[in-house]
Amino acid sequence: MIDLIFNSGTLAMADALLQGGLQGLIVSLVLVLFTLIGLNFSKKFSEANEEFINANPTTISNKIILQISGVILFLAVTVFWIASFASVPDVAEYLGWFAVIQSVLTTVFVAALLYAIVAIYFQPDRANLKEDKSSSVAEDMIGLSSFALKIPLVLSSFISTALMTLGAFYLIVAFVQNALMSIDSNGEFFYFEASGANVLTGVSYFLSGAFAPFIFYLLFLIFFPVYNYLLAILHIPKIGK
Amino acid sequence: METVLNKINSAIDYGISLMEALCSFCLDKLTLLFKHAFAWSVVIGAIMLLLLGLIGDPYGFDYY
């Protein structure tokens, strides 16, 4: 239901934006204003996210599980970009050269981004997950399961900028497509079916990037206390020893 | 035979260390790039939004 409302809202917003003229200008001004507000929030929350990570250390008895997870994720990312490049001939045949350039640039960027995120699995210290030989199995479990929550927090500014860059790229592509179609009004040389989808994707990434650190903060705040309670229970037998 | 297995293990370990190095390289370089690209992304994205709002879609909006 929420998904339906969100999708309808986003579609309605993109529809209003692409009407052009005064209506389109007003919608775009509102979106820019939202982005700037999001960035203001995010700047403040980025510092709070760093403090959260420093204040919530977790332990693991051996880092090998993270290293193996990193290798598996590395291989998955490699399969992703190889599969994307393998589909380039089909994209060229059905969607044209413009879509090929867009697809290749997006794939390279996203692959580099995913490799960068996988790097945290090889350097868990960045997420304040320390190796401690005295860590119990339960503490290991908490350390591992909370790691997924810590990654977005550690990389909040990084992911935010990445999403905004990707969003700006999609908006440039959509603008170029629309500008070319406006010039060639008969649709003789330029007709891009996906320009609406590019606007929608670009706006979604751009706004998500602007609010990302704030959203990651909230997610951590809601879900991490569960691990704090579990760690507190595990520390009870150690009191007084 | 054990020597062969040891060599294979060493090769796999070397592969894993290369993976680690590549991932760290991507993280370091992208972090550096994003430091410079952040303001540009915001400005370019905002300008594109305004321009898209002004010119609209010449064929009407179609998600597909």
Q: Which two tokens stand for residue A22?
A: 């005064």
- Higher pLDDT among residues A56 and B1, named by residue: A56
pLDDT of residue A185: 63
> In B, which residues are within 8 Å of A194 by CB distance?
64
pLDDT of residue B23: 94
B48 and A70: CB-CB below 8 Å?
A: no
Number of domains in chain A: 1
User: Does the beta carbon of A14 lie under 8 angstroms from any beta carbon of chain B?
Assistant: yes
B53 and A202: CB-CB below 8 Å?
A: no
B48 and A32: CB-CB below 8 Å?
A: no
pLDDT of residue A189: 58
Q: How many CB atoms lie within 10 A of CB B37?
A: 17
pLDDT digits (tens, 9 = 90+) for A70-111: 999 999 999 999 999 998 888 888 877 778 888 899 999 999
- Closest partner residue to B52 (CB to CB) among A194, A197, A199 is A199
pLDDT of residue A22: 80
pLDDT of residue A28: 87
Choose, out of A115, A117, A170, A185, the residue to mutate when testing the contact with B (most B CBs < 10 Å). Answer: A115
Q: Which two tokens stand for residue B13?
A: 């370990």
Q: Is A190 within 8 Å of A162 (Cβ atoms)?
A: no
Restricting to A residues 33-92, those with a Cβ less than 8 Å away from any Cβ of B are: 35, 39, 67, 70-71, 74
pLDDT of residue B61: 54
- Domain residues for the domain of A83 are 2-238
Distances from the Cα of B51 to the Cαs of A171, A198, A204, B44, in angstroms? 10, 14, 17, 10
pLDDT digits (tens, 9 = 90+) for A163-215: 999 999 999 988 888 777 777 666 565 556 666 778 888 999 999 999 999 99
At residue B37's C-alpha, the angle toward residues B39 and A91, to 5°, is: 120
Confidence of residue A5 (pLDDT cuts 50, 70, 90): low
Residue indicated by tokens 């992208």: B30
User: Does the beta carbon of B21 lie under 8 angstroms from any beta carbon of chain A?
Assistant: no
Q: What is the pTM of this model?
A: 0.85
Q: Is B38 within 8 Å of A164 (Cβ atoms)?
A: yes
B34 and A174: CB-CB below 8 Å?
A: no
* ipTM, two decimals: 0.84
Please state, rounded to an integer, the average pLDDT across all residues of chain A. 85
A12 → chain B, closest CA residue:
B61
A200 and B63: CB-CB below 8 Å?
A: yes
pLDDT at A44 over 60: yes
pLDDT digits (tens, 9 = 90+) for A131-163: 888 888 888 888 898 898 899 999 999 999 999
- Closest partner residue to A196 (CB to CB) among B20, B49, B63 is B63
- Higher pLDDT among residues A18 and A151, named by residue: A151
pLDDT of residue B16: 93
pLDDT of residue A184: 65
Type of residue at A146: S
Confidence of residue B20 (pLDDT cuts 50, 70, 90): very high
Q: What is the mean pLDDT of residues A55-83?
A: 93
Confidence of residue A121 (pLDDT cuts 50, 70, 90): very high
User: Does the beta carbon of A193 lie under 8 angstroms from any beta carbon of chain B?
Assistant: yes
